[in-house]
């Protein structure tokens, strides 16, 4: 479904992604793990067209998207939940969800999706008229994920969804990730510092160091890999 081939992305003069190659099959949850500054967020920004690569190829359903605008990438079926749960703080929960559907015209279906999201996250239904900025951190993350889902993505990119959340919210977010994947067969590309939880939920994983993939394999293999254990699992 998604193929990054020798992607090279720069921030100004600094090359962050160095010959990055990743493949994601339809229906999978893949996770990308790596230390601070490895280039995980930059990878998601390259896929979503926010920081296009300077060289290499990104194929979605076999078609190159490395020069496509961010809006057209959303329209093609890829949505990003950015790091730091960036919702619209002054808009209500309902208005935030509407913003996620800004490219859609199928109003009856949009209503259905809102109802589905309120089933996934009952707390958001209770808070539907409350301003986004007044929600707790965990609730804001739920809203950020929900807003991305309102675009009906086939591929959902999640940047550190569990960051800064307490254990109960962390578990809830990972349960929801699994549910989104199994119920609607949404393919998920998960960036996480919580390598343990990420590898538990994912089918396959990639380890990134300094803009390069240094290890890849089934999530189970990575969970039991000695280097991964030492560097990312703290065992
Ligand atoms: N807008 C920017 N301008 C210049 N350098 C940047 C910019 N964004 C990121 N970088 C640099 O690119 C490198 C990779 O950053 P990136 O945010 O992709 O890492 P990351 O793996 O997501 O890290 P973290 O786990 O801390 O979120 C870092 O060295 C960072 O300082
Ligand atoms: Mg990051």
pLDDT per position as a tens digit, 59-111: 999 999 999 999 999 999 999 999 988 899 999 999 999 999 988 889 899 99
Q: Check if 39 has its Cβ closer than 6 Å to any atom of ligand 1.
A: yes
Phi and psi at 87, nearest 5°, equal: -100, 175
Is 80 exceeded by the pLDDT of residue 55?
yes
Q: Model confidence at 9, in pLDDT bands (50, 70, 90)?
A: very high
The domain of 75 spans: 2-233
The percent of residues in the chain predicted with pLDDT above 70, rounded, is: 100
Q: Determine the average pLDDT of the residues in 24-46.
A: 96
Round to whole Å and give the CA distance between 75 and 103.
Answer: 7
Q: Check if 36 has its Cβ closer than 6 Å to any atom of ligand 1.
A: yes
Is 90 exceeded by the pLDDT of residue 133?
yes
Tens of pLDDT, residue by residue over 111-120, are 999 999 999 9
Round to whole Å and give the CA distance between 231 and 98.
Answer: 41
- Residue 76 confidence (pLDDT): 95
Q: Determine the average pLDDT of the residues in 41-56.
A: 97
Give the number of domains in the chain.
Answer: 1
- Residue 232 confidence (pLDDT): 86
Is 90 exceeded by the pLDDT of residue 184?
no
- Residue keyed to tokens 């926010």: 50
Most informative mutation of 16, 192, 232 for ligand 1 (most atoms within 8 A of CB): 16
- CATH number for the domain harbouring residue 149: 3.40.50.300
- pTM equals 0.95
- Residue 31 confidence (pLDDT): 98
Round to whole Å and give the CA distance between 183 and 58.
Answer: 27
Q: Check if 89 has its Cβ closer than 6 Å to any atom of ligand 1.
A: no
Most informative mutation of 40, 53, 192, 207 for ligand 1 (most atoms within 8 A of CB): 40
Round to whole Å and give the CA distance between 152 and 162.
Answer: 22
Residue nearest to atom 10 of ligand 1 (CA): 11
Q: Model confidence at 233, in pLDDT bands (50, 70, 90)?
A: confident
- Residue 57 confidence (pLDDT): 97
Write the DSSP assignment of the chain as a string of letters. Answer: -EEEEEEEEEETTEEEEEEEEEEE-TT-EEEEEE-TTSSHHHHHHHHTTSS--SEEEEEETTEE-TTS-HHHHHHHTEEEE-TT----TTSBHHHHHHHHTTT---HHHHHHHHHHHHHH-HHHHHTTTSBGGGS-HHHHHHHHHHHHHTT--SEEEEE-TTTT--HHHHHHHHHHHHHHHHHH--EEEEEES-HHHHHHH-SEEEEEETTEEEEEEEHHHHHT-HHHIIIII--
Mean pLDDT score of the chain? 94
Residue nearest to atom 31 of ligand 1 (CA): 37
Residue nearest to atom 27 of ligand 1 (CA): 36
- Residue keyed to tokens 């309902």: 94
């Amino acid at each position: 479904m998604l193929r990054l081939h020798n992607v090279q992305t720069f921030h100004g003069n600094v090359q962050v992604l160095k010959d990055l190659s990743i493949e994601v099959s339809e229906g999978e949850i893949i996770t990308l793990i790596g230390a601070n500054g490895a280039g995980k967020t930059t990878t998601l920004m390259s896929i979503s067209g926010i920081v296009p690569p300077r060289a290499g190829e990104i194929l979605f359903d076999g078609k190159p998207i490395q020069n496509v605008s961010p809006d057209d990438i959303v329209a093609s079926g890829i949505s990003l939940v950015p790091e730091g749960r960036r919702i619209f703080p002054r808009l209500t929960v309902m208005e935030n969800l509407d913003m996620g559907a800004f490219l859609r015209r199928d109003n009856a279906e949009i209503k259905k999706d809102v109802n589905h999201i309120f089933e996934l996250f009952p707390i958001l239904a209770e808070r539907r008229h409350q301003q986004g900025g007044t929600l707790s951190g965990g609730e804001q993350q739920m809203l950020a994920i929900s807003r991305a889902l309102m675009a009906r993505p086939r591929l959902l990119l999640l940047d550190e969804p569990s960051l800064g959340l307490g254990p109960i919210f962390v578990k809830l977010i990972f349960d929801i990730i699994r549910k989104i994947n199994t119920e609607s067969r949404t393919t998920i590309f998960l960036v996480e510092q919580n390598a343990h939880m990420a590898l538990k939920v994912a089918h396959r994983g990639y380890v990134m160091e300094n803009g390069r993939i240094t290890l890849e394999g089934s999530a189970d293999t990575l969970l039991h890999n000695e280097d991964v254990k030492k560097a990312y699992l703290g065992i």
